[in-house]
Chain A
């Protein structure tokens, strides 16, 4: 009964390094999402995938890329990490319906020095 699983849970990078955050869901959901949460702020949408084979930009996409590998997996890549990308990253999934809630993983805490 895992739900949404994110790996790794913690990571420290140096400026300019690259990194891929992994996310997998076992709820057979069509839609998946990546958010970041910064202190004193709510979650902000980075990218989302409405269904397998599609991806779209959210509110704060700059500096990130995503890949919807299959229906279960949705990865987030930082090609050249910057200190401004220090944050907690959450992955979520949902049915492809506007009235169904998103289910979140426990997050990846990423620090960029």
Chain B
């Protein structure tokens, strides 16, 4: 039972264009969502988050959108840069104090020059 799904294992985007990564969830109790970026042989690095009381959060080139009715979130990166090439994980948790994060399978983003 995959509660958080990233249906695209990989995505290839040209440098300078917009990258859009998608994530779907099934558990309506989730109310905090995060995106992590992971390079090979390193741990995941926090990128951006959004609470269920919002539908958009921006941080520089990164914007996360949340559609609660569709149980869908997306990460937009614009403009995309070669250093953005990595695996991106979305994760979700329900407010319980300590976070029991549930992760998606990840999407490998490749930015082509």
Contact = CB atoms under 8 A, between A and B. Distances in A.
A6 B45 CA distance: 15
Contact of A98 (B96, B102, B103): B96
Which secondary structure characterizes the binding site on chain B?
loop
Nearest to B6: A42
Contact of B97 (A35, A98, A103): A98
B70 interface: no
B32 interface: yes
Nearest to A43: B103
A94 B104 contact: no
Interface stretch (B14-22, B36-44, B59-67, B71-79): B36-44
A102 B43 CA distance: 11
A90 to B, nearest CB: 6
Interface string B68-91: 000000000000000000000101
A74 interface: no
Given A98-B32, A99-B51, A103-B46, A42 B4 contact: yes
Give chain A's interface residue range (CB within 8 Å of chain B).
Answer: 20 to 34
A101 interface: yes
Interface residues of B, number: 31
Contact of B99 (A43, A59, A102, A106): A102
Given A31-B98, A50-B97, A105-B43, A99 B32 contact: yes
Interface of A: 4, 31, 33, 35, 40-45, 48-51, 56, 58-59, 90, 92, 94, 96-107
Interface of B: 4, 6, 9, 31-32, 34, 36, 41-46, 49, 51, 89, 91, 93-106
21 contacts: A33-B101, A40-B9, A42-B102, A42-B105, A42-B106, A43-B44, A44-B103, A50-B97, A50-B98, A58-B100, A94-B98, A96-B98, A98-B96, A98-B97, A99-B49, A99-B95, A102-B101, A104-B43, A106-B42, A107-B42, A107-B43
The 10 closest A-B pairs by CB, nearest first: A42-B103, A104-B43, A50-B98, A101-B46, A98-B95, A43-B103, A31-B98, A106-B43, A104-B44, A42-B105
